[in-house]
Structure 1
Amino acid sequence: MLALRLTRAARPAVQLRRLLVAAAAAGTGFLLLSCLGHALDHPEDAGAAALRLAWCAVPLAATVYFALAVARTDPGTRPRPGLSAVGLSPARLMAVSALTTALSCTLGSMLALLVFLHLRGDLTGMPFDGAAAGFLAADQPLPLPAALTLLVLPPATAAITVALALRPRDPRPATPDRRGFGRFGAYRRATARETFGTYGRFGSRVTRRTTAGTDAAGQPGPLRTTGSTDATAQHGAGSTAPSAARTGDPAGDVPTGGTPAGLPWGVALVTAGLAAQSYAGDPAPAPSLAVLLGWLLTATGLVVAGPGLTHLCGRLLQSVRPGALRLLAGRVLMTEATRIGRPLGVVCAVASAGYAMAVLYDDPSPDFGPLTALGALVVAGCTVATLLTAAVEARQCRAETIAALLRLGAPASMLRGAAALRTAALLALFGPLVLVVGALSALPSAR
C-alpha cells in the first residue's frame, strides 16, 4: 500500500520514467512470448528456439539496467532525515523501491500479454489479415504456465537487481577490532601503548592539533584546534553517507579526483570479445552463440572502461594551461566519471553493435523483421534513456555546487558553456571509439 501511495504521489517526470520502464518491460515480454510462439510453431528445431531465447537476454538486461537507473533517481523513496522515526528505515525504502519497480514491470508484462493474445486472435479475432499468425503460432493453443513464466522474468529480475543495488550499507570503513588491556586489566580499544606515567599527565587523554589556517588570498588566518571537532565533522559527514550508500550511488565507488581502475580490464575484455567474434565466422543466416558471447564480452569491456575513459577525457580538458571554463568542465567530468561513464559505455556498446550490423547487411534482409526491429528499439531506447537519467541524476547531485557558483557571481552562460564543452569532449572521444569497435567487429565476418 505504501508503494502504491508513493507511486501515485510522484511528480510527472517520475511518472514518465516509470511509464518508460513499463514500455520497455512490455517490449521485452513480447519478445519472450514471440520466442514461445516460434518454439510452438517449430517443435523440431529446438536449437533455433534456444538461440532466440538467448538473444532475448540482451533486451532483458537493457530493461533491468534502465529500471535500476530510474529507481536510483526516484525522490519518493530516497532516505531523508526523520523517516526512520515513522518506520521508514533505509531497508524498508529499499523494499518500496523494489516493489515499485516490480509493479511497473508487471504492468508492462500484462500489456505484452494482451498485445500477444490480440495478434494471435484469441481476444477479438485475427487482426491485420493474419499477418502475425506465422511467428505467433496462432493455430495452436497457448500454454499459459509457460507464458506466465516468461512474463515473470522482467519484473522478478528488475526487482531483485534493485533490491541488491539499493540495499543499505554501513558507511563506516571496516577496521580490525583488536581488544587490548588498559590499566588494572580494563578492556580498551586503543592500539597505541602508553608509557609510564602518561595516564596522569594533564591533557594526555585529549588529542589536539593546532594548525594555522589560511584565507582565500593566501594570508595566514586564525588558528583552529581540531580535536573533538574532527570527530564531530566525521560524524556529520557520515550522517549523509547512508543515503548515498542506499541509493546505490555509483559515484561513491571512486573518491573525488580518484582515477577509476577499470580501464585496463575494459581494454582486455574488448580485445577478448573481438577475438571471439573473429573466430565465430560468418553470422548468416542468423548470428551464432559465439557471436553473442563475443558481443557480450565487448559490451562488458566498454562498460568497464567507460569510467576510465570519461576520467581521461576530463583530465585532457584540463591540460595545457586551462582557463576557468575548461577547468570547470574537466573537473566535473572527473568527479562524475563513474556515474556517467558506465551508461556511456553501454551506449557505446549498443552503437558499435548497430554499426557492425549496418556494415554487414547493406541491403534489406528478410531476417530483420518486426521482432528484430522491436528488440533493437528496446535496447537502444533503454540505453539512451539510462544515459539521460544518469545525466539528470548527476545534475541533481551538483545542484548545491551550481547554486554556490551562481551566488559567487559566476554567469549562467559559463555553466551552459561548460556543459556544452563536456558534451563535445565526450562525443569527440566516444564517437571514434564506436566506429573503431564496430568496424573491427564487422571485419572478420565481412571477409
Structure 2
Amino acid sequence: MLPLRLIRGGAPLTQLPRLLVVAAAGSVGFLLLCALSYALNHPGDAGVAVPRLLWCLVPLAATVQLAALVARTAPGPRTRAALDAVGLGATGLPLLAALQTAVFCLLGSALALLVYLHLRGDVVGLPFDGAAAELVAAGRPLPVVATLTLLLVVPLVAAGATALSLRATAARRAAHPQPPALDRAGPPLPLPVGLSYGTALIGVGIALETYAARGTGAPVPLPGAGTGPGPGVVTGWLLTALGLVLAGPGLTQLAGRLLAAARPGAMRFLAGRILQEEAPHIGAPLGVLCAAGCGLIAASHLYGPDRPLGPLTVLGGLVVVGCAVAGVCTAVAGSRAALAPARAALAQLGATRELLRGAAALRVAAVLAVLTPVTWGVAQLAALPLT
C-alpha cells in the first residue's frame, strides 16, 4: 500500500510526468495489440507480422526510458530522507519505485485494452461505422493469453528497468560523492567516456545501414505498408540511436566547456560550469531527443505527401517524440532541484536574478548550438543510403 499512498500524496504538478507515463504505456500497449490484430487477420504472413511487432520496440524503449527517468526524479529530498529513516535505503527505494512504475504502466495497459475492445465492438458495438475494424481484427476471436502477455510487457520491462536504474544511481552516489561544480575550483570536468563510444556506435550504425541498404533503390517501408526493412537496416538505425544517447552527456558537457572558454565573464563562466554539472543528468535525455529528431528528419526525406504514413506509424512517432521531450523536461526539473542550494548560495553572495536568467539562456543557446548540427548531420547521413 505504500506505493499507492505515495502516489496519492504527491503534489498535483508531480503527477503530470506520471500521467505522461500512463499515456505512453497505454499507447505502446495499443500498438502491440494492433500488431496482434494484423497477425490474426493474416495468419500465414509471418514475414510482415513479425516486423510490425518488432517496430513496437522503438516506442517501448522510449516509454521505458521516460518511466525510469520519472522514477529517478520523482521522490524529492525530503521524501527520500523520510524513506531512508523508515528503513527503505539503497535496496528498498528501487523496489518501491519499480512498484510505482508498474502501477502506472498497468493503468496505461488497462486503458489500452478498453480502447481496443471498444474499437472491436466488444463493448457497445462497432464505433465509427466500422472504420477501424480491420485495424483491430474485429469479428475474429481474441486470444486471451496472447493479449494479456502483450499488455504485461510494458509494466514488467519498465519496472525492471526502473529498479536497475535506481540501483545503479545509488551505487554511483555511494562510490563517488561529489560536491556541485559551483563549489569546486579547478580545471573543467573530464569528458565522459560515453562520447567516444557513442561516436563509434554512430559510425558503425551508419556504415552497417549503408551496406545493408545497397541495391534497395526505394525508401524502407514503415509499419504501415509493404514488407518490413531488413535486419541490417534496423540494426544500423538502433546502433545510431544508441550512439546518440551515449554521446549525449559528453556533447552537453562539451557545450559547457565551449561556453566557459576564452576568458569568460561572470555570466558565461557560471553558465558553463552549471552546464558541465548538469551534463550527467540531462545528457542522456538530450541524446534521446536528438535520436527522435534524427528520425523525424530522416523520415521527412524518405516520405512525402505522396507516401502518407499510417495511423499506427503516426502514433508510434508521437510516443517517441513525446517521451523524448517529456524526458528532457523531467531531467531539467530534477537537475534544477539538485542545484537549488548552489543557486541560493549565489544569491546570498549577491548574484542578481538577471545574472541567473542570463546564464540559463546561455545554457539553452549553447546546447542548441552543439546538438542541432549534430542531429541534422546524423539524420542526413542516415537517410542518404536509403534515398
Report the TM-score, using the length of structure 1 for normalisation.
0.79
Q: Provide the C-alpha distance between the structure 2 equivalents of 1:142 and 1:18, rounded to a whole number of angstroms.
A: 30
Q: Provide the C-alpha distance between the structure 2 equivalents of 1:268 and 1:346, rounded to a whole number of angstroms.
A: 17
1:87-107 per-residue CA deviation (whole Å, 9 max, x = no partner) reads 433322222111111000000
Structure number with bigger Rg:
1
Which residue of the partner structure matches residue 113 of structure 1? 113
1:43-88 per-residue CA deviation (whole Å, 9 max, x = no partner) reads 1111211101111111001000000111011126976446445343
Q: Provide the C-alpha distance between the structure 2 equivalents of 1:303 and 1:164, rounded to a whole number of angstroms.
A: 18
| 1:380-399 equivalence runs, <5 A | 380-399=321-340
1:306-327 per-residue CA deviation (whole Å, 9 max, x = no partner) reads 1111111111111111101110
* Contact 1:317–1:329 (CA under 8 A) maintained in structure 2: yes
In the alignment, structure 1 residue 444 sits paired with structure 2 residue 376: no
1:300 maps to which of 226, 238, 242: 242
Which residue of the partner structure matches residue 36 of structure 1? 36
1:429 maps to which of 356, 360, 370: 370
Which residue of the partner structure matches residue 353 of structure 1? 295
* Contact 1:6–1:76 (CA under 8 A) maintained in structure 2: no
Larger relative helix fraction: 2
Unaligned runs of 5+ in 2: 180-186
Name the amino acid aligned to 1:342.
A
Which residue of the partner structure matches residue 95 of structure 1? 95
1:177-196 per-residue CA deviation (whole Å, 9 max, x = no partner) reads xxxxxxxxxxxxxxxxxxxx
Structure 1 position 134, deviation (Å): 1.1
Q: Provide the C-alpha distance between the structure 2 equivalents of 1:82 and 1:322, rounded to a whole number of angstroms.
A: 42
Name the amino acid aligned to 2:358.
G
Structure 1 position 341, deviation (Å): 1.3
CA spacing shift, 1:80–1:63, aligned 2, 3 Å: closer
When the two chains are superposed, the root-mean-square deviation of aligned CA atoms in Å is 2.1
Q: Provide the C-alpha distance between the structure 2 equivalents of 1:376 and 1:49, rounded to a whole number of angstroms.
A: 19
Greater Cα shift, 91-100 or 81-90: 81-90
Name the amino acid aligned to 2:193.
A
Unaligned runs of 5+ in 1: 174-236, 242-254
Which residue of the partner structure matches residue 62 of structure 1? 62
* Contact 1:77–1:97 (CA under 8 A) maintained in structure 2: no
SS in 2 for 1:135: coil
In the alignment, structure 1 residue 331 sits paired with structure 2 residue 333: no
In the alignment, structure 1 residue 276 sits paired with structure 2 residue 278: no
How many residue pairs get matched?
369
In the alignment, structure 1 residue 169 sits paired with structure 2 residue 171: yes
Sequence identity (%): 54
In the alignment, structure 1 residue 158 sits paired with structure 2 residue 158: yes
* Contact 2:212–2:230 (CA under 8 A) maintained in structure 1: yes
Structure with the larger RCO, 1 or 2 (CA within 8 Å, 6+ apart): 2
Q: Provide the C-alpha distance between the structure 1 equivalents of 2:340 and 2:116, rounded to a whole number of angstroms.
A: 44
In the alignment, structure 1 residue 418 sits paired with structure 2 residue 350: no
| 1:13-412 equivalence runs, <5 A | 13-75=13-75, 80-81=80-81, 83-167=83-167, 168-169=170-171, 257-281=189-213, 282=216, 283-284=220-221, 285=226, 286-366=228-308, 368-412=309-353
Name the amino acid aligned to 2:288.
V
Q: Provide the C-alpha distance between the structure 1 equivalents of 2:306 and 2:70, rounded to a whole number of angstroms.
A: 35
Name the amino acid aligned to 2:154.
P
Q: Provide the C-alpha distance between the structure 2 equivalents of 1:159 and 1:68, rounded to a whole number of angstroms.
A: 8
SS in 1 for 2:212: coil
Name the amino acid aligned to 2:350.
G
Structure 1 position 362, deviation (Å): 2.1
SS in 1 for 2:171: coil
* Contact 1:55–1:292 (CA under 8 A) maintained in structure 2: no
SS in 2 for 1:274: helix
Name the amino acid aligned to 2:382.
S
Name the amino acid aligned to 2:171.
R
SS in 2 for 1:126: coil
Greater Cα shift, 55-64 or 282-291: 282-291
* Contact 2:188–2:257 (CA under 8 A) maintained in structure 1: no
Which residue of the partner structure matches residue 183 of structure 2? none
* Contact 1:77–1:94 (CA under 8 A) maintained in structure 2: no
